[in-house]
Amino acid sequence: QVPLVESGGGSVQAGGSLRLSCAASGIFDYRPYSMGWFRQALGTEREGVASIGDRGTTNYADSVKGRFTIYQDNAKKTLYLLMNSLKPEDTGMYYCAAEPFASCCSASSLWESKYNSWGQGTQVTVSS
């Protein structure tokens, strides 16, 4: 497992933006690797939001396509999730996940079972 620490959550009005960060110094030494953002609303199961591989390929859940962007800064060893046009249904705890030696980004890259390393989560609340 690799250590992951999320930050950047907060409260925002609908239509606003937030950028989440995930400090992930351990994963960038592996090739290949897969990283992802997941979210969990109260009373629901955790769902995959976006994923990215070591070569920069990405995959997004249909619900966030065109609004969210996942990207990484290898020099800073940090994963990001830029969230624009936020909606109340985007509210939830957001988690960063990583898996060394895993390719990306087929549909399975958004499956919780693909990842063994998880951060503690950061809360995002979108009000209408």
Going from the first residue of the chain to its last (128 residues), give the mean pLDDT of each consecutive group of 10, the final group possibly shorter. Answer: 95 98 93 96 97 97 98 96 98 97 94 96 98
Contact 10, 18 (CB under 8 A): yes
Give the whole-angstrom CA distance, residue 52 versus residue 91: 22
The per-residue pLDDT for 68 is: 98
Q: What is the pLDDT of residue 25?
A: 86
Question: How many alpha carbons fall within 13 Å on the CB side of residue 23?
Answer: 5
Direct distance between the N- and C-terminal alpha carbons of the chain, in angstroms, rounded to an integer? 38
What gap in Å lies between CA 62 and CA 51, rounded to an integer?
12
Task: Please report the pLDDT score of residue 1 as a whole number.
Answer: 86
For 24-77, where are the E strands, in sequence order? 33-40, 47-53, 58-60, 68-73
pLDDT at residue number 77: 95
